[in-house]
Structures are given as structure tokens and as C-alpha cells.
Amino acid sequence: MCGFVVVAKEDFEVKVFDEALEKTVDRGPDMQATLAVKKAVFGFNRLAIMDLSAKGMQPFSALDCTLVCNGEIYNYRQLEQNLAGYSFKSGSDCECLIPLYRKYGLDTMCKLLDAEFAFVLYDEQSQKVVAGRDPIGIRPMFYGYNEAGHLSFASTAKALMETCKHIYPFPPGHYYDGEKFVCYDDPAMVARMKLPTPQEAETKIRELLIAGVKKRLHADAPVGYLLSGGLDSSLVCSIAAKLMPQKKLKTFAIGMDQNPIDLKYAREVAEYLGTDHTEFIMTRAEVLAALRQVIYTLETWDITTIRASVGMYLLCQKIHENTDLKVILTGECSDELFGYKYTDFAPNAEEFQKESMKRVRELYMYDVLRADRCISANSLEGRVPFADLDFVKYVMSIDPELKMNKWGKGKYLLRQAFANQGYLPEDILMREKAAFSDAVGHSLVDDLKAYAETKYTDADLAKAQDKYGYHHAPFTKESLLYREIFEEFYPGKAKWIKDYWMPNKTWENCDVDDPSARVLKNYGDSGK
């Protein structure tokens, strides 16, 4: 991960700019640089992953362009082959963006990238500042307007709070051409659906996920793995272990000191794969002590995002404090493609597909946001194989009938894709997964709810309807606790997040008032 700030030059105040840039330093503590050009001032905090030398430091300047990019360009070697005549100065994967922009223009450049990225580029020839973000929104970026109407960009919203009155998330799959925002890719929208047999779909899913993991193993810095013991993170680890049989993976798990459901399963996977496995335990006191920092880091008030982030934040903090790792592979983005517990209640294939499309488009506000902020706040880079564009687009194109739960087992197609292949023990491959906030121990959510009960009365909750009614007012004392902390840091900015993450309330058995799968009738063996 890296962090950047880009502001209009005429609005440049050194002290304010330095303070804004400092708010992204946790994303990139290795090196810091600023560069003023004719129309803008660039600031960059680097976490060195590719080309660890100073040559890989940004901003990059070449061909009358200046660039900052927080990203991983997985096909950069292939792209460099189309850039004969350009003399590369570093081994950084992001340096190729400038000659790509010059050769192909903004639209084609963005469409050529197999990548996770957020970039801002100043074109001296046109004197325009342009920007773009990857289709899933893996890398964060916000933009804002100051009182003079000038546009600024930053990796996090907090970095723009002092300079911009109006701040918005930069939409995934879009670029800004200096005048308007343009959608160049929507991975949730499939041009033509495919009708493979289950066996054909399973083979393709396996091939594409393996390819997605493989390309994310390349780094000049050491790599580790989050291993919850559930299906998704276990598959990522098992694929990596098969791809690198000569290496001993470093895996990490966390659980509460009471009933940490997944720790035993993570241990089983680690023993099966032969990883160098580390477990951390967190207490109620640690959870409550971290809550304010977690919400400040996340820039959200969403219930399920915050619940799931506490454990992940503390785990990444411990990894940062106790290891030399820089890159972390994680298992996010599978549920949006293959289904949640609540999508078992989808009334038909059309509704299942619509729900999946909605979740993929909103990933950047929920699971992807959680993974990015929890990992990057602890000076690590997160990589998400399930969000690989080729993988996402294929799974979204499969006949949704194949993805619906008709076998009494969620994500059946994904499980079958790796069955009898030696990747995982059968009991892990077929185990129902609990939500992360439950899997680290049911006591985590219970402790947060109990703490909120001590903070607020029923009257406080009633007043919150008026106080925060401008956008999705709190409806429980727990949600009031989170909103109060959020508004303290980011007053009046709640619209950064569209809504509370909740099951589809229009479906039978899904009209619940809590986002946890624990409240659903089909929770069953999940989390046991």
C-alpha cells in the first residue's frame, strides 16, 4: 500500500499540505516525497514492494507527465513489451503508466491494466489533471472540491478534510479525464451469460483462481497470509502452498480469549499445509480500546464492517509489530460472487444475480474497504485473489442457477472446484463458514453490544433519529455508538457510505435488524 495527496497548486499552503500528507503516512512509511508542477502539488508516502530502491520512488516524471499511483500492475511486464523505445528508470510496476498514457490515451490505458490501482496524473501538454481507479475499488481514492471549486485527490478521505468542503469516494471502474468522470469497466455487468456444465464451470473456476493467486505472489518484499480457517482464506493459502512447494508459508490467525471458533480450523489447515503458523488472542479490553482508532481508520459507520474490522485490524497490527512482512494475501470478495448465508433465500436465479451484481458494485464500501484500511493502516499491502478481474468476470457470467444453494451447502460450486484435488482436508472444504466478526469468537459482537448498552439510553437512541436523520440514522444502541464516533471524526460526512450492509430485506426470512448471519434461520452449523 501507498498513500498520496494531490492538490491544485494555486491552493497550496505548505503547512496544510504537509499535514494532509502525514495522514496517509501509515500507508507508506518507507519514503516520502513532494513535487510541485505547473497545475498541482503531488505528495507520496511509499510502502516499498516492487523495486525496493529509491529508483522506485514516486512521483514519477517523464514524457511531460507526473504520476502517483497506489497499485499493483500485474501485467506490467507484458505491457512493457508494447512500449519499445521508452527507457525505464526503475523496476517498479507502476512506472509503465506514463508511457502507456502517452501511447494509448487514458481510456485505452485503463482498459489494458490487469491491476489494482488508484492513480493521479498531470499532463503538462494538455495541462490537465486526470485520475483513475480499478474496477473493483481495491485501492482507495477520494476526491474533493475546495471553496474555489478546485479538485483534489487523496488515498483517504481524512487527508482532504482540511482542504475540501465536499468529499466523495472516487467511483471504481471510472477515470476522470480532467473534465468529467467516465465509466470504463463494470465487472458486475456481463455482456453475455455463459451456460457451462457444472464440471466445466468448476474447472474454469479452479484455473482462474489459481492464476489469480499466482500473479499476486510476485513481490520484492516478504509475503504473508491471513488464515481464518474458513473456505476462502484456506483456499488462497492452499493454492499458494501448491504453487511454491519449496517455501514455507507464513500464516496468521486471531481469536477472542473466549470461544474463538475459527482458530482450531485455521490450525488444522496450517498443519495440513505445513505453514509457519502464528495465532494471536485478543481480549474484550483490547477490542474496546481499539474501537475509536478502527472507526477513524475505516472512515465508515457501517455495523458489520466495524465488527469485522476490529479483529482484522488487531491481527494486522500484531503482524506489523512482530514480523518483517510487507504483503498480505487475504480471502475477501468470495461471498459477493458465490453467495452469503442469506442468499440461500434468493427466490430465483434472476434475484440471485441481481444481488450479486449489487454486492460486487458496493465492495469498495464494505469488505474491500475493511481489508484495505485494516491492512494498510498497519503498513502492509493487501492482495485479494478472489477480486482478480478475470475471475470475477467469469464467475459473474456463469448461469446463476449453478451458484444458488440447491445442495444444502453454500458456495457449492467453489467447493467442488477444489474437491478431490489435494488442496484441503474434506472437512475444511465443506465446512460452513461463520462471518469473521463471529468466527473470531461470538463474544466480540456480544461485548460491543453490551458496551453500547452502558453508553446510551432508549431516549438517546430516539434523539439520534433527528440528530443523524440526514442519512440512515442509527437504529440500535450499537449503531449509535459507531455513528457518534464517526461523526466526531467526520461530521456530516455519512454519505460516503451508501447504507448499512444488510441482507435483502425483501426476501423471505431476510427481514432482520442485524447484519450478522447468526440471526438467520439457516445459520445451522456455521460458526461451530
* Residues 6+ positions from 488 with CB-CB distance below 8 Å: none
Q: Residue 411 corresponds to which amino acid?
A: K
Catalytic hit among 2, 96, 110, 510:
2
* SS3 category, 115: strand
Specify the residue for cell string 474555489: 148
178 is written with which cell numbers? 480532467
Residue 237 annotated in active site: no
DSSP 417-461: HTTTTTSS-HHHHTPPPPPHHHHT-HHHHHHHHHHHHHH--HHHH
Specify the residue for cell string 505472489: 217
- 59 preceded by cis ω (within 30°)? yes
Q: How far is CA 305 from CA 270, 308, 313, in A?
A: 27, 5, 11
Give the Cα separation of 82 and 2 in Å (integer): 27
24 is written with which cell numbers? 496517509
Give the Cα separation of 226 and 249 in Å (integer): 11
DSSP at 398? B
323 is written with which cell numbers? 514480523
β strands within 47-173, DSSP E: 60-62, 65-73, 115-123, 128-133, 142-145, 151-154, 166-169
Indicate which residues carry an active-site annotation.
2
